[in-house]
């Protein structure tokens, strides 16, 4: 199967909004339309190539991208996709035309943004027989250079290895690709497992071709490719709006030098709204799967996991479980913290509570929780850099057991109208 975003939009349905300015108009559209049924389709300023946004800004669209019907099936499919090598099928290079960075949908989203950003950039790097695919924001500097935000994970490791050898890291940057590939690249497998293998397993197989300069594997259907190098040069990057809707700080980040930019005019590029629903979904859904897997090992049944949108799909988890013992809820909380160390607050509820309705969750806390027996507090734990209230990466974490006792009596029963 190819990795065309355009075909996915045709499947879900797109809503065209015309030509939009790079300055704030794209973000206004995506903000106002997030969570709606259709994918937003538009042109950015003077770019002829179509762009899109809110591609997977809801659980329904996530399920469509994974070709499953339930969240449990989605978690299991995503987790299983990393358990083996995927079938990648070599095909010929499509018809591409050359351009430059200004032909790509770099957008200014918020008033204090440090510049114009690509937000769906999938960077493929292969170095010393290790390949990695991961999502990174890229800030335009000029028509040949951009700053790349790299956190200390696998791309950072490859970049540092190249610098140790007095080399700069060759990379292929993809814009506009099927969301199943984006989800695979948003996950965190062990170093050495190439995320495109997982994407191939999700899609059944993945048609790829060699990038024009570096010969890196590129999914067929990619809308645009930057062939370049991540250099030793460092520049100020940011501010940029992070998942919680606040500004990330300015920091020194490496410069991407673009050797060539290639466009596939028949395909659609992708713009992710920083701090929006899609940002939270892509960050959070792979972690929901990890939490589901970990908690399933310590309780009889996990009915659902919800990393909340208002916590950026990152800091707050609500988990619905069955239990055999009243201590199971606390084990579930500890398993969740272990599976996703960035978690700050975890709430565990019974299956009669709707984890997607904060009013229902609040009801469970009000009627089934007692702080002296049902609260877990962990002080000075490693937290998330996305939490502005954390200090030097340290935070306090809370787990709330809002489940009723196994021997619960009539007073815990929810009233029903027959």
What integer pLDDT is reported at residue 56 of this predicted model?
97
- The string of pLDDT tens digits covering residues 225-284 is 999 999 999 999 999 999 888 898 899 999 999 999 999 999 999 999 999 999 999 999
Peptide bond into 148 cis (omega under 30): no
* Measured distance CA(172)–CA(214) in Å, rounded: 7
Alpha carbon of 335 to those of 165, 324, 338, 358: distances in Å? 40, 16, 5, 22
Which residues make Cβ contacts (< 8 Å) with residue 379, sequence separation at least 6?
Answer: 396
* Measured distance CA(19)–CA(39) in Å, rounded: 16
Percent of the chain at pLDDT exceeding 90: 91
What integer pLDDT is reported at residue 408 of this predicted model?
84
What integer pLDDT is reported at residue 244 of this predicted model?
82
Of 142, 138, 209, nearest to 173 by C-alpha is: 138
Given a cut of 90, whether residue 19 has pLDDT beyond it is yes
Average confidence score pLDDT of the chain? 96
The mean pLDDT value for 313-331 works out to 96
* Measured distance CA(90)–CA(263) in Å, rounded: 20
What confidence category does residue 178 fall into, taking pLDDT thresholds of 50, 70 and 90?
very high
Of 341, 336, 277, 346, nearest to 309 by C-alpha is: 277
Given a cut of 90, whether residue 106 has pLDDT beyond it is yes
Least confident of 166-175, 180-189, 317-326, 383-392: 383-392
What confidence category does residue 407 fall into, taking pLDDT thresholds of 50, 70 and 90?
confident
What confidence category does residue 156 fall into, taking pLDDT thresholds of 50, 70 and 90?
very high
Given a cut of 90, whether residue 385 has pLDDT beyond it is no
Alpha carbon of 414 to those of 369, 376, 418: distances in Å? 15, 26, 12
* Measured distance CA(64)–CA(57) in Å, rounded: 12
């Amino acid at each position: 199967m190819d990795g065309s975003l355009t075909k996915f939009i045709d499947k879900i349905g797109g809503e065209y909004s015309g030509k939009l300015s790079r300055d704030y108009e794209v973000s206004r559209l995506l903000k106002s339309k997030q969570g709606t049924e259709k994918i937003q389709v538009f042109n950015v300023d003077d770019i002829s190539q179509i762009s899109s946004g809110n591609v997977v800004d809801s659980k329904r669209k996530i399920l469509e991208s994974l070709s499953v019907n339930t969240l449990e099936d989605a978690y299991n499919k995503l987790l299983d996709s990393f358990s083996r090598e995927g079938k990648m099928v070599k095909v010929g290079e499509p018809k591409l035309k050359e351009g430059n960075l200004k032909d790509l949908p770099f957008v200014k989203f918020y008033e204090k943004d440090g510049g114009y950003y690509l937000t769906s950039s999938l960077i493929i790097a292969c170095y010393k027989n290790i390949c990695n695919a991961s999502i990174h924001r890229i800030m335009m500097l000029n028509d040949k250079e951009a700053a790349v935000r790299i956190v200390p994970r696998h791309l950072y490791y490859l970049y540092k290895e190249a610098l140790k050898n007095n080399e700069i890291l060759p990379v292929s940057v993809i814009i506009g690709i099927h969301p199943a590939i984006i989800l695979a690249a948003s996950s965190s497998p062990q170093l050495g497992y190439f995320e495109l293998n997982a994407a191939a397993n999700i899609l059944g197989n993945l048609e790829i071709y060699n990038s024009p300069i570096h010969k890196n594997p590129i999914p067929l259907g990619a809308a645009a490719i930057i062939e370049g190098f991540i250099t030793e040069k460092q520049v100020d990057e940011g501010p940029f709006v992070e998942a919680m809707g606040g500004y990330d700080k300015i920091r020194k980040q490496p410069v991407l030098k673009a050797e060539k930019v290639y466009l596939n005019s028949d395909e659609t590029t992708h713009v992710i709204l920083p701090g929006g629903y899609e940002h939270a979904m892509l960050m959070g859904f792979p972690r929901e799967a990890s939490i589901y897997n970990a908690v399933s090992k310590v309780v009889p049944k996990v009915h659902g996991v919800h990393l909340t949108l208002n916590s950026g799909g990152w800091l707050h988890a609500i988990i619905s479980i069955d239990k055999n013992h009243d201590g199971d809820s606390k084990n579930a909380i500890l398993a969740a913290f272990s599976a996703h160390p960035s978690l700050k607050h975890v709430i565990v509820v019974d299956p009669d509570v709707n984890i997607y309705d904060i009013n229902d969750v609040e009801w469970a806390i009000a009627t089934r929780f007692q702080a002296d027996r049902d609260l877990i507090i962990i002080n000075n734990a490693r937290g998330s850099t996305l939490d502005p209230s954390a200090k030097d990466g340290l935070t306090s974490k809370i787990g709330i057991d809002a489940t009723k006792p196994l021997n619960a009596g009539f007073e815990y029963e929810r009233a029903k109208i027959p």
